[in-house]
Amino acid sequence: MTVDEFTRLADAWGGDVERWPEATRLAAQPLAATPEGAAILKAASELDETIARLAPDIADERVGRAIFAVINTIAIPAVAKPPRRRWYASPGLTWLVPATGFACAAFLGVSLAARLPVDLTHRPADAAALMAVLIDTATQDQEFMSQ
């Protein structure tokens, strides 16, 4: 373990190596025994003591009241409040969604009709080929059944 890692761990977990996670505690023991490691731990312990001294003494009842107030002001009104109506879901505008869908479909149809005009020049040939296939198939079935 490097001195930088040791310093970061002391800043995060405090000056008491016994409070550190077990894997890092075992790796930090040799560095904690050195004078440099002891100085780092002493500085972290002083910060721990300052924080502990400045921490306010708060009664459990006060903590409970604060938690209850937060839950009451945030969670309960959000659950109890009816869902907000959207502007398009109001009774006077219920026709708007289907009308918009119809307008979009009509626009798409007109756009496609203008972009891809119907080509009737090849239809008779296609129809004649289809008729020939149908007639040939019908003849083959009759010949097969007569044998």
Residue 50's domain comprises 3-54
**Distance, CA of 32 to CA of 96 (rounded, Å):** 73
32 in Cβ contact with 17 (< 8 Å):
yes
Would residue 114 count as lying in a domain? no
3-state helix, strand, coil in the chain (%, to 5): 80, 0, 20
How far is it, in rounded angstroms, from Cα 40 to Cα 99? 73
The predicted-structure confidence for 116-137, as pLDDT tens digits, reads as follows: 766 655 555 666 777 777 677 6
Tokens 């009737």 belong to which residue? Answer: 120
105 domain residue, yes or no:
no
Angle between helices 3-13 and 22-32 (to 10 degrees): 120
Tell me the two tokens of residue 8: 């970061």
- Is position 111 within any domain? no
Q: What integer is the mean pLDDT of 67-83?
A: 68
On average, the pLDDT of the chain sits at 78
Inside any domain, residue 69: no
Residue 42 is assigned to a structural domain of this protein: yes
Residue 127 lies in a domain: no
- pLDDT higher than 80, residue 104: yes
pLDDT tens figures, 50-68: 888 887 888 888 888 888 8
- In a domain, residue 39? The reply is yes
Tens of pLDDT, residues 23-38: 888 888 888 889 999 9
